[in-house]
Amino acid sequence: MDSVWRKTAEMPHFEKLEGDVKTDVLIIGGGITGILCAYFMKERGIDYLLVEGREICHGVTGNTTAKITAQHGLIYAKMMRYAGVEKTKLYLEANQKAVMKYAELAQHFACDFTEKSSFVYSVDNRKKLEEEAESYRMLGLTDEIVETPELPFATAGAVMMREQAQFHPLKFLGKMAEGLNIREHTFVTQMMPGRAVTEQGTITYQQVIFATHYPIDNKHGCYFLKLYQHRSYVIALQQAQQMNGMYVDEDRRGLSFRGYKDLLLVGGGSHRTGKKGGNWQALRQAARQYYPDAVEKYWWAAQDCMPLDERPYIGCYSPAMPGCYVATGFQKWGITSAMVSAMLLADLVQGIENPYAAVFDPGRSIFHKQLLCNGAEAVINLLAPTKPRCPHLGCALKWNPVQHSWDCPCHGSRFAEDGRLLDNPANGNMRV
């Protein structure tokens, strides 16, 4: 079970940290967010060090569908209602700048970058599309609803965003990482003000960026309430119809599509981590129905952090942690959100005011319906008398028969059958 990206890219390797070191900015996490942050730190002449507990791009980054787009589902009409037009415009602008930055950097890091149009379709809800199209008009975008002849089933149409893109993420990041100050197999076991403890030594820092997918500090910021994790699945098919656009269903239970060379990537089967879902079975059933002559070449799964209000948390980790920054809650749109994070955090560590900071402020209101769902899930699984328990905050783990793992429905940590940690926020293995 490896993604097409892992199978078709060679990644550089880095030595592990040995002994005590000092740095101005410590970056924890070697996925796309951490690597982009490191790149911008180097570009600005900032003293930095990136540490990764395993190998760079070992986790979520290597399992993305790698769509570079500011079209994050049908979010803009909804965002206008609860955040206002101005913040919605800033959200769009920040992500459009991220798309343009990838286009610029792709000229230096060969990565199969291709400009594509992005589409959000609905199988049966034209009204939702009309509301989103109206929000596009208010934001200065093309507001037409288009047909979807490339899709293998009937729809109510789709809203389109032009001049988006797709790429090979590990080809891009592998080349970018070659010139960066990175230490692999350097797992941070303890955080203290100004110091991070690893098995190999202590890192003294002035500022720190948590680029760990899910934040690893439980004491501040209430991220254990503000986030939950969601799994989704991908199969890559040969001998299937190729598509010129990138498509996603407005219904989270639906299918997404994009092409890569002679492959068609079909995504879906999603569910909250620790719960049941369609997984690969749903995708394979769709493939048999719509592409009966196709051959499955690759298959993999991804895990995403879901915020309360469809906006990532990027900025100050907590008022109680000065000089500490976080980037998390990217939903299904980690590629553009990672770039937004890196550009924003590069300003914040230098004390430069960034026009988008308020949009992504981790300290914004948490009073949303999803907060009640997250809280209820935590209480139910904390009180459940079953074993084993998650070492993160003690929730009862659920057995995942599809991936043969123990999954936490509270915060999304995952463990192999032998107890080995697969996905954070837990920072250690499960007791077996």
Residue type, 39: Y
Each residue's pLDDT tens digit in the chain (432 positions)?
789 999 999 999 999 999 999 999 999 999 999 999 999 999 999 999 999 999 999 989 999 999 999 999 999 999 999 999 999 999 999 999 999 999 999 999 999 999 999 999 999 999 999 999 999 999 999 888 999 999 999 999 999 999 999 999 999 999 999 999 999 999 999 999 999 999 999 999 999 999 999 998 888 999 999 999 999 999 999 999 989 999 999 998 899 999 999 999 999 999 999 998 899 999 999 999 999 999 999 999 999 999 999 999 999 999 999 999 999 999 999 999 999 999 999 999 999 999 999 999 999 999 888 999 998 888 888 888 888 999 998 999 999 998 999 999 999 999 999 999 999 898 889 876
b/e map 80-117, b = 16+ CB within 10 Å:
beebeeebbbbbbbbbbbbbebbeebbeebebebbebb
DSSP letter at 213 equals S
397 and 355 together in one domain: no
Nearest alpha carbon to residue 317 among 356, 351, 345, 359: 345
ω into residue 388 within 30 of 0, thus cis? yes
Q: What number of helices (H) and strands (E) belong to the chain?
A: 11, 21
What does the CA dihedral 267, 273, 277, 278 come to, rounded to 10 degrees?
20
Confirm whether 126 is domain-assigned: no
Structural tokens at position 235: 């199969």
Measured distance between the N- and C-terminal CA atoms of the chain, rounded to whole angstroms? 25
Please tell me the pTM assigned to this model.
0.96
Confirm whether 235 is domain-assigned: no
Confirm whether 91 is domain-assigned: no
- Domain extent, residue 411, equals 369-423
What CATH number did the domain enclosing 339 receive?
Answer: 3.50.50.60
Residue type, 291: Y
What are the φ and ψ backbone dihedral angles of 251, each rounded to 5 degrees? -85, 125
340 and 389 together in one domain: no
C-alpha 24 chain-centroid distance:
26
Confirm whether 46 is domain-assigned: yes
Sign of the torsion formed by the C-alpha atoms of 30, 34, 39 and 43: negative
339 and 376 together in one domain: no
